[in-house]
A = this chain, B = another copy of it.
Amino acid sequence: MSIDALKTRMAELSDLTALGRLAAWDQRTMMPPDGGPGRGEQLATLERLAHERATADEVGEWLDALEDADLDGLDAEIVRVARRDFDRARRVPVDLAAEIERASADGQTVWQAARAAGDFAAFAPSLRRNVELAREYAACFDDAARPYDALLADYDFGLTAARLQEVFGELAAELAPLVAEAPEGAPPVSAPLEAQRLAVPAVLARIGAGDDGWRIDDSAHPFSVGVGRGDSRVTTRYQEGDLLSVIAAMHEFGHALYERQIAPELSRTNLGGGTSMSMHESQSKLWENHVGRHPAFAGVLAEAFAAGGFAVEPAALHASLVAVRPSLIRVSADPVSYPLHIVLRFELELALIEGGLEVPDLPAAWNDGTRRLLGIDVPDDAAGVLQDTHWAAGAFGYFPSYALGCLIAAQLWEALERDLGPQDEALAAGDVTAIRDWLVPAVHAHGRRLDTEPLVEHATGRGMEAGPFLRHARSLVGVV
């Protein structure tokens, strides 16, 4: 039976993905440094094999045979999404895919040196090559209305440049003035490292990361993986001078919880993952912004730090976590101005891909945009256009998910409080059971059955919109 063969293949691919995640997690947390070259080979082999098995001729034959089959609900969904993934993967010639991969690797190498030297001109040829290849890639999808839509579809199937321009336009128009007018933020609270190390597992245990199904480890950059049902792993980074270890851990918890609460019957199918980059980011942002930065939750955080020997007033802690301080660097941006960094990048990469902007003109455009959106002058390209690795890696269409995550999280939070009532009391008590449970039917259970915007509509009754985030931002800066 073709459906059985297809489902067996999907289960295999799901297992290979899990093994790849494990190997990548290990590489970043446990592997001795000398294991690096070998691990690179192992991951490349796994990826090649998974791609070969996903795009093999027999998969196309099974899908063809199932074209008019009378399938029950779940099987029909499995076939629908498998057909889509298969067709997309087969549209890209093998040579082009290999060339993109090479250019991506080269681009990142060149970028690292160029960033260190603050030398955009040294990076420009690699960037131009990546842009050209992204356009070639986009041209493989003649069903996309615009080239950028084809790129976006790899991260957020169903979204379009037009839709993003609409939502981000509304966002920037109100958020840029709000940031410009925000009062000076409270000074950062800095907990000793040892208190942070005790607080992270304590806070995660409070919100649901128990020992039997979770790990918490260190890594240079925080990340999370679901290695399989019942095996969720988050990492964080400890540094003096801020409380990012706890906030990052809550962010990663949100990602991991999403994968973990997908309906069990989707496990080991092609529907058993988060549906898109932006929905995934909305889950991390919900726990980071709406739980971790909620004024009522500050007492729980303060208590966790106190248990580690660091006394801090909840109000001071909260003020520190929501302070607005427009900055040059995206990754250290405050929660209010953060999406403006993304709007800038979206505008620029859209213009690069669709032809309105040439690579040599990019730094000036970057600097203009930073002044316009964030009110800051960029002193040099290292702190400007060279700060992120995404374009060096050829990843165009990736950035929007960071801002969409903020927007969708705020929209979900409003829907959640509409359904459950205000969460202040529960958060003050550190009880997030209702929040976790609400997310299951609203978002998590569906896996990849619904794409981003249909899922947002299912959960909130409305399409994606900027309003909820803007209301959240105003509450954070005290302009309600």
Contact = CB atoms under 8 A, between A and B. Distances in A.
Interface in A266-303: 268
Interface stretch (A29-37, A54-62, A190-198, A467-475): A29-37
B41 A268 contact: yes
A239 interface: no
B15 A19 contact: no
A49 interface: yes
Given A42-B19, A45-B15, A32 B229 contact: no
A238 B313 CA distance: 43
Contacts of A35: 213, 227-231
A102 interface: no
Given A32-B212, A34-B213, A12 B45 contact: yes
Interface string A217-247: 0000000000111111000000000000000
Nearest to A34: B230
A231 B32 contact: yes
Contact of A215 (B23, B30, B214): B30
Nearest to A209: B32
A45 to B, nearest CB: 4
Given A19-B46, A22-B26, A36 B215 contact: no
A39 interface: yes
A95 interface: no
Contact of A32 (B16, B32, B42, B215): B215
Q: Main SS of the interface on chain A? A: helix
A45 B12 CA distance: 6
Contact of A22 (B22, B32, B228, B231): B22
A18 interface: yes
A478 interface: no
A11 interface: yes
A49 B42 CA distance: 15
Interface string A249-269: 000000000000000000010
B26 A42 contact: no
A31 B229 CA distance: 12
A229 B37 contact: yes
A38 interface: yes
A184 interface: no
A211 B36 CA distance: 14
Contacts of A42: 15, 18-19, 22, 228
A257 to B, nearest CB: 14
Interface of A: 11-12, 15-16, 18-19, 22-23, 26, 30-39, 41-42, 45-46, 49, 211-215, 227-232, 268
| Top-6 shortest CB links A-B | A38-B228, A35-B231, A34-B230, A15-B45, A34-B213, A15-B42
23 contacts: A11-B41, A11-B45, A12-B49, A15-B41, A15-B42, A15-B45, A18-B42, A19-B19, A22-B22, A22-B42, A26-B26, A32-B211, A32-B213, A32-B215, A32-B231, A33-B213, A34-B230, A35-B229, A35-B231, A37-B229, A38-B229, A39-B227, A41-B228
